[in-house]
Amino acid sequence: MKVVVFGLRGFPDVPGGVESHCQELYPRLINHGFEITVITRSKYIKNSEYQGVKMRHLWTFSSSKLETIFHSFISSFYAKFIGADVVHIHGIGSGLVVPICKLLGMKVVVTNHGPDYDRGKWGRIAKWLLRTGEKYATKYADCNIYISRVIVDINKKINPSVSFSLIPNGISKVEYETSIDKQLSTLRKYDLENKKYIVSVARFVPEKGLHHLVNISNTLKENGLELVLIGDSDHTSTYSERLKENAKKAGVTLTGYLKGEELQSVFKNAAQFVLPSYHEGLPISLLEAMSYNLPIVASDIPANKEIALPEICYFKSGDEGSLVDSILKVDVLEEQIDLKTIYSDLSSKYNWDEIADNVGLIYSGLEKRV
């Protein structure tokens, strides 16, 4: 069976939750005997193959408003051209082309990574298009995959009879052990001290709530903690520029996007991980923090709470006083809770091998349908 994938920028090591999801998933599905081709956006990826997954690159506009929808439109026709049996579309913005894929005679699976129309960066027309893409997916796709119960509940209201599978993101295992020398080199590069900083990983967009961390950074410093923000914006915006300007004024460490040993080094030596977001599907960065056994402080939005961390790990979303209190209670958290055991118990629920098995069953089921 030939499966063609689009809706993402590409992989490996392209920032973004959808991209990380696909990087973990599709090499595993190659081992299930499927032929996988990912249609990438050419400005992000140049490699022609990754761990058996074929890459085909198509141009698209460098615009946050046009990039996804135009790329998805041309990808739907290209998928048919290269002989796709199944197209697997990621994200509700790309859901707009589900009817086209069906008219072209292909089976369609859509993974809904979250209600993107809730993001503050979108205007009224963009929100309408995203909602329409979500509606088309629930109505026309052969199967919808939702990564969290929160997303299931939203879409059952749109279409109570929607055919869906609940398959979450997974926890990525650390593939290699970064040497002490490399860790120390990375800490020196960013002027950090072991266990003397908190880290947050996110795109610089309003719904990630990073401005709250910048606002409390002086209070954190008074308590012996530096703030490190890993990430950037995909497209320059007023918000991202203001966030970086305010962060620099406050002495916050901005690393940009990190990967490989540098990312591992910063995670390994952090005192804790903080995620103050307003909007998530099922946050891969939070799951990644669990793989390092980091104490976690996260906003109490439904997608974060679905991971079912101990209640002490959550703070009231948007409340900077609650955020500070939760960060400064980490010592109490570590005294009261065996995080390593809790994370180990949760990891069985977020296992990438099992996730690939479940997606493979969906593909196989579509192959048997006439």
Task: Write down the pLDDT at residue 162.
Answer: 86
pLDDT tens-digit series, residues 104-136: 999 999 999 998 888 777 888 989 999 999 999
Task: Write down the pLDDT at residue 349.
Answer: 87
pLDDT above 70 (res 181)? yes
Q: What is the mean pLDDT of residues 261-287?
A: 94
Q: What is the mean pLDDT of residues 241-265?
A: 95
User: Greater confidence, 341 or 103?
Assistant: 103
pLDDT above 90 (res 321)? yes
Cα–Cα distance measured from residue 238 to residue 32, given in angstroms and rounded to the nearest whole number: 45
pLDDT above 70 (res 369)? no
Please give the CATH architecture assigned to the domain spanning 2-170+351-368. 3-Layer(aba) Sandwich (3.40)
Tell me how crowded residue 47 is: count the other CB atoms within 10 A of its CB. Answer: 12
pLDDT tens-digit series, residues 343-354: 888 888 899 999
Please give the CATH architecture assigned to the domain spanning 180-349. 3-Layer(aba) Sandwich (3.40)
Q: What is the mean pLDDT of residues 191-208?
A: 95
Task: Write down the pLDDT at residue 176.
Answer: 58
Whether the CB-CB separation of 16 and 24 falls below 8 Å is answered with no
What's at 303, amino acid-wise?
A
Mean predicted lDDT score pLDDT of the chain:
92
Cα–Cα distance measured from residue 282 to residue 168, given in angstroms and rounded to the nearest whole number: 7
Residue 329 carries which DSSP code?
A: T
Is the bond into 15 cis (omega within 30 degrees of 0)?
no
Q: pLDDT exceeding 70 applies to what percent of the chain?
A: 97
Token pair in block for residue 368: 């048997």
Give exposure, 181-192, as e/b (b: 16+ Cβ within 10 Å): eebeebbeebeb
**Secondary structure string (H, E, C) spanning 7-41:** CCCCCCCCCCHHHHHHHHHHHHHHCCCCEEEEEEE
Task: Write down the pLDDT at residue 344.
Answer: 84
pLDDT above 70 (res 264)? yes
Cα–Cα distance measured from residue 59 to residue 148, given in angstroms and rounded to the nearest whole number: 31
Confidence of residue 174 (pLDDT cuts 50, 70, 90): low
Q: How far is CA 185 from CA 143, 196, 229, 247, 264, in A?
A: 47, 16, 18, 23, 12
pLDDT above 70 (res 370)? no
Task: Write down the pLDDT at residue 158.
Answer: 85
Residue 226 carries which DSSP code?
A: E
pLDDT tens-digit series, residues 8-42: 999 998 989 999 999 999 999 999 999 999 999 99
pLDDT above 90 (res 361)? yes
Task: Write down the pLDDT at residue 236.
Answer: 80
pLDDT above 60 (res 268)? yes
What's at 363, amino acid-wise?
Y
Q: In what order do the strands lie in the sheet with 272-275?
A: 253-256, 226-230, 197-201, 272-275, 296-299, 314-315
pLDDT above 60 (res 219)? yes
Q: What is the mean pLDDT of residues 241-249?
A: 96
pTM across the whole model: 0.91
Confidence of residue 175 (pLDDT cuts 50, 70, 90): low
Domain positions in the chain are: 2-170+351-368, 180-349
pLDDT above 90 (res 81)? yes
Q: What is the mean pLDDT of residues 310-332?
A: 91
DSSP E strands, the chain? 2-6, 35-41, 49-50, 53-58, 86-90, 107-112, 143-146, 164-166, 197-201, 226-230, 253-256, 272-275, 296-299, 314-315
SS3 180: helix
